[in-house]
Amino acid sequence: MLGVIQFITLACGLVISFFPDEIDRATQRWRHQDLAPSNSGHWPTDVSRDIFPARCHSHNDYWRRVPLYSALQAGCVGVEADVWLFDDELFVGHSIASLTPTRTLQRMYIDPLMKVLRRQNPTTHFHPTPDEPRNGVFDTDPSRSLILLIDFKTDGEEAFSYVQAQLSPLRESGYLTYYNGTGIVNGPVTVVGTGNAPFNRIAANTKYRDIFFDAPLDRLVDNVDRIDPSARLEERADNAGQGLSGISDAVIDPDTFDQTNSYYASVSFKKAVGIPWAFHLTDRQVQTIRSQIRAAHRQGLKVRYWGTPSWPRSLRNHVWRVLVREGVDMLNVDDLVSATRKEWTPRISDWWH
């Protein structure tokens, strides 16, 4: 009987997946926002008037039916774009096989963000000069910065200059969070480099930075093994993966990464915490999470785990509840609706969804 019920549930879910959900349907107002202020019932910044930001990172955002806009409509304050450098252009996709000429970083993220932010920072008869600091994408919380996580898939050293160049419109408009040599100046968009992003290039300029690093969370804890702390940063950027590219393994210690050069401290949940074999986190796993969160927060970094369990939903929801309770700053999610609405109450049907 359970098998029959599970089959029916999966079949229904498959049918439903071919139709846009309410979040996707509501993104029309983001994509066609130029039509919105045409009558007295609208105002220049009302595109996000009823959306409240949530600590939600839209994992593999480019896979969504409506990239970027679905995440914004749900209230997610983080989106992710995997970028590949080919023929002097940055293409977005999960793998080389998925790349197309039209799916570029500029078309999918830079240009739409510029369009939204211009709308949120209007110049009118009543408002002749832009706000300082600039308003973010959420009208309900204009000081909230949107995190644009750029995952460098090809050689980080080579791609870094191209990413910097494509951020120019956001930079020149005053929309980027940056480090000015003494402190952080928050902007509507905070850019974080992960994957093969080269730490040496990010940290090279001690006077100005507007791309921040995704530090290795598991390497920030005090009891990790040390090698020679006096070793220098390597001059080249090794593509060693998230949190390790462009830096010698010998110099990584809890003080290597701080809020002047990094934003996130991230790690694979499976690698750092382990698999919840009993369908719940053990006391030891919770202690591991706590120690990692404390270590990252001491450095002023935001904690993000990727690769958290997604099935069954009861386990996923349990992990989300524990992470939020313990102080994780961003949930890395695929299900935007459940994450932003916190629909995490255990239900019997969660076991076969």
For the packed helices 313-326 and 283-298, what is the interaxial angle rounded to 10 degrees?
Answer: 40
- For the cut 60, the answer to whether the pLDDT of residue 348 exceeds it is no
pLDDT score at 233: 43
Mean pLDDT of 339-352: 66
pLDDT tens digit string along 161-173?
Answer: 999 999 999 999 9
Mean pLDDT of the chain: 86
Q: Are 212 and 191 in contact (CB under 8 A)?
A: yes
Cα–Cα–Cα angle for 336, 341, 344, rounded to 5 degrees: 95
The CA–CA distances, whole Å, from 98 to 24, 82, 92, 104, 204 equal: 22, 11, 9, 12, 33
How many beta carbons lie within 10 A of that of residue 293, not counting itself? 21
Pairing, β 262-268 against β 302-306: parallel
pLDDT score at 236: 44
Model confidence at 11, pLDDT cuts 50, 70, 90, reads: low
Burial 22-53, CB ≥16 within 10 A → b, else e: ebbebbebbeebeebbeeeeeebbbbbeebeb
Distance CA 163, CA 125 (A): 36
Distance CA 261, CA 206 (A): 9
DSSP 182-239: SSEE--SEEEEEEET--HHHHHH-SS-B-EEEEEEGGGSSTTS----TTPPPPSS---
pLDDT score at 226: 38
C-alpha dihedral (212, 217, 221, 227), degrees to nearest 10? -80
Distance CA 128, CA 280 (A): 55
Distance CA 135, CA 126 (A): 16
pTM: 0.87
Model confidence at 10, pLDDT cuts 50, 70, 90, reads: low
The CATH number of domain 52-122+131-339, selected from 2.60.40, 3.20.20, 3.40.720, 2.40.128? 3.20.20
| Beta-bridge partners for 80 | 149
pLDDT score at 22: 61
- For the cut 90, the answer to whether the pLDDT of residue 40 exceeds it is no
The CA–CA distances, whole Å, from 36 to 27, 40, 122, 140, 336 equal: 13, 10, 14, 18, 25
Q: What is the number of alpha carbons within 13 Å of residue 258 lying toward its C-beta?
A: 9
Domain ranges (residues) in the chain? 52-122+131-339
pLDDT tens digit string along 208-254?
Answer: 999 999 999 999 997 543 334 443 444 444 788 999 999 988 888 87
